[in-house]
A and B are shown apart, each in its own frame.
Chain A
């Protein structure tokens, strides 16, 4: 697996675990699926951990855990399955401020969209990272300097920029 942020490739602090045994055996924080959370939290109430959910998960199932986790990984079944983008928006709306990871066979061409929807990192399978190395991701995120949609990404939208420019001009 390769983990990419806006700055480039980074180490993954988290270890994925699909069973309680594996989760308890791991060094450092674990990344566990929704159904394991209750069990794990009972055994390790103080431990830092991450939550992994599929893009089709209802926000009602995710929301109760958001205050306790420092990572949410949204699993993309396929690069063309956009559900994860909407889930990211819903997670942010709950006030979540931790690491938000898009995980799965995404392509570099989606990096800018993922970031604009609130993801902070992307976790790729090795085969994909080999074909589309980090440089392509960093280049792809900067191909478009602006976006029209207000409420996405960090900077103002084109509509907001125009508005600001007019205000500035008339002030």
Chain B
């Protein structure tokens, strides 16, 4: 894991002092509310429905036990005893007081954390693959790139007043778990024919009210040229991105309106004028950062563990957990485990202070003091010795963290929605809870298999519903909450946007509608196909038909009752 040096340390400390000064200047009237707002946003402080919300950056989702314990402390001292992991690999506190925020920032700085640029019209926290450094299909670990970008994007003098927010994701694997195609910039590490490592650069992906899949504007960018090339992209966007309408201000609209080829030409023209060597990171500095992400001191072990196999044979719950939540590790004898923050009936992504402490102990003892946050609002223990899995499972169970539903229909992503968010048009969390309860039966979940559901409480799409295998969007229609359902969305290397099945439905009908969709899938499924594979093969038509039949039966029922 990356550790701050004296420069990083001082930078974060000074940033806290700077924010403290900004709060003071707001209070004495030097800064107007309009002026203060973007300043507090760039420090992760939102005004929500009931209170302030503080969003803490977890750069590329990597954390250690010391940091999590500090978050537990903050949750208990300044919040209501829990924190909330988001779809951007961040952590949010929903109830801090403005006056406490500078103190919280001090506590974060003590453990090398911050809230820099977790909001506002600037380059946001860089996200990555939760299995970085673990996955077998990796060309190169994406975390050094992500850390370099964290530094480069922090308080960038030219790019802190962009037309709109800007999100960058990096993956180093064939299978895209970082959803790079729905980011403003998506970077994929790859090799060219000569075996050199570089990036494929996509620009203009995004969700929100105008969802778009990113366009590849550079097939292969040599690794050493990254910062200069990104500077060119950012400069084109900063200069040309629309500022007349905030709904059209993201770079995806610029790419769409100017056209992919023209946009590429603009970037290339800007890039040609840049003096790369004065901008790019020195090679030694790239290597210095990369060294922090070297593999931990693994033991030399056989590919699989006899101890674990035996324990699994004796404990079906453990077997189910390993099968569902385990992820193959590149190192023989090790495994990565997903911890689904999705107990049936719980709030997706919520974690209590007690759970944080328990989990910190587990990560420290069994995973080289490291864990990851995923964009599915889950956690990952990246380096667990297979021999240790039974002990880890027992400890997780005790903390209420052993849900064996990673990737299943009850592993639902939901944005905060009407329970917290000032922009929400509908509830999101209670819908997730209702669906999870409907499908609580483990056998049933297993039969249905991988089926990520994603829920947003308004058109801004923080719950990424466009890329959910089943997506649910909560709107408001005639004073009632109304839910639109899509299928076939995909954030992986097969990136696709979901298609709407039909008219919106009432909240109370959502679980039954999901059941109808699942029935269609089970009817259409061939062999071992997953839900997504079936949808990709059949297209949305059978699902539309099933959904229409569901709506008709519903109408008949209500008429019969009425």
Contacts and interface: CB of A to CB of B under 8 A. Distances in A.
Interface stretch (A5-13, A20-28, A44-52, A146-154): A146-154
B158 A93 contact: no
Contacts of A153: 157
Contacts of B32: 131
Nearest to A113: B157
A146 B7 contact: yes
A80 B8 CA distance: 26
Interface string B27-71: 001111001001100000000000000000000000000000000
A150 B239 contact: no
Contacts of A86: 158, 235, 238-239
A157 B303 CA distance: 46
Contacts of B273: 93
Contacts of A81: 161, 243
A166 B239 contact: no
Contacts of A152: 157-158
A37 B273 CA distance: 27
Contact of A143 (B17, B158, B159): B17
B29 A146 contact: no
B279 interface: yes
Interface string A123-166: 00000000110001001100111111111110000111111001
Interface string B267-292: 00000010100111110110010000
- Chain A contact patch, size range: 35 or more
B22 interface: yes
A163 B282 CA distance: 7
Contacts of B30: 108, 131-132, 136
A112 B157 contact: yes
A143 B534 CA distance: 57
B17 A116 contact: no
A90 to B, nearest CB: 8
B247 interface: no
Contacts of A108: 30
B160 A113 contact: yes
A80 B38 contact: yes
B161 A85 contact: yes
A160 B31 contact: no
Contacts of A144: 11, 14-15, 18, 155
Nearest to A83: B239
Nearest to A93: B273
Interface in A92-120: 93, 107-110, 112-113, 116-117
B184 to A, nearest CB: 15
Contact of A116 (B25, B157, B281): B157
B559 interface: no
B151 A148 contact: yes
Contacts of B278: 150-151
A162 B7 contact: yes
Contacts of B14: 143-145
A89 interface: yes
A132 B25 CA distance: 9
Interface centre among A79, A85, A151, A162 (most CB of B within 10 A): A151
B353 interface: no
A147 B155 CA distance: 8
B331 interface: no
Contacts of B121: 80
Given A93-B273, A107-B31, A143-B14, A82 B280 contact: no
A87 interface: yes
Contacts of A131: 29-32
B404 to A, nearest CB: 42
B158 A109 contact: no
B152 interface: yes
Contact of A117 (B11, B18, B151, B158): B158
B170 to A, nearest CB: 17
Given A85-B238, A163-B285, A149 B157 contact: yes
B162 interface: yes
Interface string A6-43: 00000000000000000000000000000000000000
A120 B400 CA distance: 58
A82 B160 contact: yes
Nearest to B25: A136
Nearest to B283: A163
B243 A89 contact: no
A160 B15 CA distance: 20
Nearest to B270: A90
A83 B239 CA distance: 5
A10 B490 CA distance: 58
Contacts of B282: 159-160, 163
B157 A85 contact: yes
Contacts of B243: 81, 83
Contacts of A160: 282
B22 A85 contact: no
B21 interface: yes
26 contacts: A80-B38, A82-B161, A82-B162, A83-B238, A86-B239, A87-B239, A89-B158, A107-B35, A108-B30, A109-B22, A109-B39, A116-B157, A117-B157, A131-B29, A143-B17, A148-B151, A148-B156, A149-B156, A150-B281, A151-B231, A151-B275, A151-B279, A159-B285, A162-B5, A162-B288, A166-B284
* 7 cross-chain pairs, A with B, having the tightest CB-CB distances, nearest first: A82-B161, A116-B157, A113-B157, A143-B18, A163-B282, A148-B151, A158-B7
Interface of B: 5, 7-8, 10-11, 14-15, 17-18, 21-22, 25, 29-32, 35, 38-39, 121, 151-152, 154-162, 227, 231, 235, 238-239, 243, 273, 275, 278-282, 284-285, 288
